[in-house]
DNA sequence: GATTGTCAATACGCAAGCGTATGGAAAATT
DNA sequence: AATTTTCCATACGCTTGCGTATTGACAATC
């Protein structure tokens, strides 16, 4: 009954695989190489089995990916609920979100690669839904601060764009996440720019008003 | 010089294709479906020929993509030089850049899809170089305003992240670019937040200071 | 007008990757 | 103990897409 799979080297006892094993391995692939890199035979090899196993647990490749993404989404929602939405003060809540966004979590990697592989309809569907969800609670934060609905919409879109952009920039520039002091300082800088009371929105300090 | 291919239906006369025709058609595919969707036989069909033609002009698929990306990069640089870098006032220059960034140009679509297909080394290479280039002149703008080098670095990274994020958000939310009045208003909002004199950086209006 | 060069069509080989069919071994059930 | 269920291996067929080889047509040049 002993086995040597599930992760590559975990010689625990486990007689057989379950869908969760496949989904977790799939998320690992998605996080690092994207949805298009999800190949059943490859993942099977990682799990120490062959295709025969896979098609017993899932009907096809798409089924696997959809299940994996569902798992990712649920997991992500759980984290947000626990660590962000639980903060009552909206300023602190926003700052917490920004800090969380800069943490090197697999969840972020997955989101970033989903942005890439959105040519698949089942990917873009999840992506859009998750994005809308996230924008919603960000908007709520800004409304809690005192922003009007319109202002909060724009500001949350801006804040979220920064998040998405940050994900890409770190990948593009380092090829990897680097969670060092520079990142911390940058997040502070960003938060300082994007978290402030609504009154400061109308305060235009730049000479742009007179020009454009 | 006239022809009947290049685009799908242009019944002009043209005896034969040249590399440029292939590169333009390739950029069209990249802009809409990404690098991984570049298939020689498909593009050949668009151009009204078969593979036989392709392998006369290029050695292989990678060769085509690299050439197409070079063309894209050169073209993009030309636009930036003409429309952005030519503006002497740094505030106006920044604002011009933001406005340009929201225009529905093919160049932006291509950049967005490159962010997706960066698993290919030859893509990530170009991507990184272009990104560094762009960050450089953005940083220069902020330094011209009076930002310190460190401040300008962070601020340009922030501004550029917004750009990248915006590209993705529009795709994710609408599936398409929508250059309407909403976009215009949003850009105004963003510019108001991200273009200001360096003194305002230290002005912390939010209650965050006392909390975190 | 014969030859050479340019550009493209057709046919083929080959690898990757999905899905199916079938059989087999171990475990659970009866 | 026999049988059924669970889980997986092996082998096969099929499609897509790259790259090559060969041939051909039209133009340019000699």
What confidence tens digit (pLDDT) does each residue in B33-81 have?
A: 999 999 999 999 999 999 999 999 999 999 999 999 999 999 999 999 9
The CATH number that applies at residue A117 is 1.10.357
A36 touches chain B (CB under 8 A): yes
Closest nucleotide (C1' vs CA) to A16 is: D7
Q: Please indicate, yes or no, whether residues B90 and B193 belong to a single structural domain of this protein.
A: yes
* Owning domain of residue B10: 1-68
Looking at beta carbons, which residues of chain A come within 8 Å of B148? Answer: none
CA-CA distance, B34 to B102, in Å (whole number)?
20
Tell me, in Å, how far CA of A41 is from C1' of C15? 15
Q: Please indicate, yes or no, whether residues B63 and B110 belong to a single structural domain of this protein.
A: no
Locate A171 and state its tokens.
């990948």
Put simply, the chain B residues between 149 and 168 with a CB less than 8 A from any chain A CB are 154-155, 157-158, 160-166, 168
CA-CA distance, B124 to B117, in Å (whole number)?
8
Looking at residue B182, its pLDDT comes to 84
Give the other-Cβ count within 10 Å of B86's Cβ.
10
Q: Can you tell me whether residue A58 is helix, strand or coil? A: coil
Q: Please indicate, yes or no, whether residues B88 and B28 belong to a single structural domain of this protein.
A: no
User: Which of B14, B38, B68 is the endpoint of a domain?
Assistant: B68
Are the CB atoms for B24 and B67 separated by under 8 Å? no
Instruction: Return mean pLDDT, chain B.
Output: 87
Q: Report the first-to-last Cα separation within chain B, whole angstroms.
A: 67
Please list the residues that pair with B15 across neighbouring strands. Answer: none
A4 touches chain B (CB under 8 A): no
Interface contact flag, A192 B212, Cβ < 8 Å: no
B211 touches chain A (CB under 8 A): yes
User: Which of B41, B68, B95 is the endpoint of a domain?
Assistant: B68
Instruction: Indicate whether B104 belongs to any domain.
Output: yes
* B132: Cβ contacts below 8 Å, ≥ 6 apart: A173
Looking at residue B203, its pLDDT comes to 53
Q: Please indicate, yes or no, whether residues B53 and B12 belong to a single structural domain of this protein.
A: yes
Nearest to B140, CA basis, from B164, B128, B162, B156: B156
User: How many contacts does A have with B, using Cβ atoms within 8 A?
Assistant: 154
Compute the nearest-CA separation of A76 from chain B (Å).
19
User: Which of B33, B68, B103 is the endpoint of a domain?
Assistant: B68
Q: Please indicate, yes or no, whether residues B126 and B95 belong to a single structural domain of this protein.
A: yes
Q: Pick the residue from chain A with its C-alpha nearest to B120.
A: A33
pLDDT at B174 over 90: no
CA–centroid distance for A118 within its chain:
14
CA–centroid distance for A30 within its chain:
12
Q: Please indicate, yes or no, whether residues B64 and B95 belong to a single structural domain of this protein.
A: no
How many domains in chain A?
A: 1
- The residues of the protein lying within 7 Å (CB) of strand D read A 15-18, 44, 48-53, 56-57; B 15, 38-42, 51-52, 55, 59-62
CA-CA distance, A127 to A124, in Å (whole number)?
5
Confidence of residue A207 (pLDDT cuts 50, 70, 90): low
Instruction: Indicate whether A163 belongs to any domain.
Output: yes
Instruction: Indicate whether A152 belongs to any domain.
Output: yes
Mean pLDDT of A137-143: 97
Closest nucleotide (C1' vs CA) to B18 is: C7
- Identity of the residue in A128, A197, A204 whose CB atom sits nearest the CB atom of B205: A197
Instruction: Indicate whether B207 belongs to any domain.
Output: no
Q: Which residue has the higher pLDDT, B181 or A51?
A: A51
CA-CA distance, A26 to B128, in Å (whole number)?
27
- The residues of the protein lying within 7 Å (CB) of strand C read A 1, 15, 38-42, 51-52, 55, 59-62; B 15-18, 44, 48-53, 56-57
Looking at residue B102, its pLDDT comes to 93
Which residue stretches of chain A are H helix? 19-33, 40-47, 51-57, 61-83, 90-102, 106-116, 121-145, 149-174, 181-194, 199-202, 208-211
Instruction: Indicate whether B136 belongs to any domain.
Output: yes
Instruction: Indicate whether A205 belongs to any domain.
Output: no
CA-CA distance, A209 to B156, in Å (whole number)?
21
The CATH number that applies at residue B30 is 1.10.10.60
Give the DSSP letter of residue A185: H
Q: Please indicate, yes or no, whether residues B58 and B89 belong to a single structural domain of this protein.
A: no
Locate B74 and state its tokens.
């050169």
- Identity of the residue in B92, B173, B190 whose CB atom sits nearest the CB atom of A158: B190
Q: Please indicate, yes or no, whether residues B107 and B189 belong to a single structural domain of this protein.
A: yes
Q: pLDDT tens for residues B2-14?
A: 333 333 333 444 6
CA–centroid distance for A178 within its chain:
16
Looking at residue B200, its pLDDT comes to 79
- Burial code (b: 16+ CB inside 10 Å, e: under 16) for A9-39 equals eeeeeeeebeeebbbbbbbbbbbebbbbebe
Q: Which residue has the higher pLDDT, A208 or B68?
A: B68
Most confidently predicted of A26-30, B173-177, B208-212: A26-30
Instruction: Indicate whether A9 belongs to any domain.
Output: no
Looking at residue B1, its pLDDT comes to 28
Instruction: Indicate whether A23 belongs to any domain.
Output: no
Are the CB atoms for B11 and B4 separated by under 8 Å? yes
Are the CB atoms for A23 and A73 separated by under 8 Å? no
Helix count (H) and strand count (E) of chain B? 11, 0
Nearest to A147, CA basis, from A208, A194, A206: A194
Are the CB atoms for B83 and B69 separated by under 8 Å? no
Tell me, in Å, how far CA of A190 is from C1' of D12? 57
Q: Please indicate, yes or no, whether residues B5 and B29 belong to a single structural domain of this protein.
A: yes
Interface contact flag, A91 B160, Cβ < 8 Å: no
Tell me, in Å, how far CA of A120 is from C1' of C21? 29
Q: Please indicate, yes or no, whether residues B43 and B90 belong to a single structural domain of this protein.
A: no
């Amino acid at each position: 009954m002993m086995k040597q799979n599930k992760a590559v080297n975990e010689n625990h006892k486990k007689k057989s695989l379950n869908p969760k094993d496949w989904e977790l391995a799939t998320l690992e692939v998605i996080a690092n190489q994207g949805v298009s890199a999800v190949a059943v035979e490859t993942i099977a090899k990682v799990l120490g089995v062959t295709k025969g196993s896979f098609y017993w647990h899932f009907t096809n490749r798409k089924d696997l990916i959809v299940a994996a993404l569902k798992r990712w989404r649920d997991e992500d929602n759980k984290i947000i609920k626990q660590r962000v939405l639980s903060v009552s003060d909206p300023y602190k809540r926003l700052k917490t979100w920004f800090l969380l966004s800069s943490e090197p979590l697999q969840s972020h990697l997955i989101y970033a690669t989903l942005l890439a592989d959105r040519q698949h309809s089942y990917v873009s569907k999840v992506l859009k839904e998750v994005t809308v969800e996230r924008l919603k609670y960000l908007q709520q934060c800004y409304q809690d601060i005192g922003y009007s609905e319109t202002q909060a919409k724009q500001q949350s879109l801006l804040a979220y764009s920064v998040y998405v952009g940050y994900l890409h920039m770190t990948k593009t520039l380092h090829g990897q996440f680097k969670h060092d002091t520079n990142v911390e300082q940058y997040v502070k800088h960003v938060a300082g720019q994007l978290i402030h009371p609504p009154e400061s929105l109308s305060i235009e300090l730049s000479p742009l008003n007179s020009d454009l």
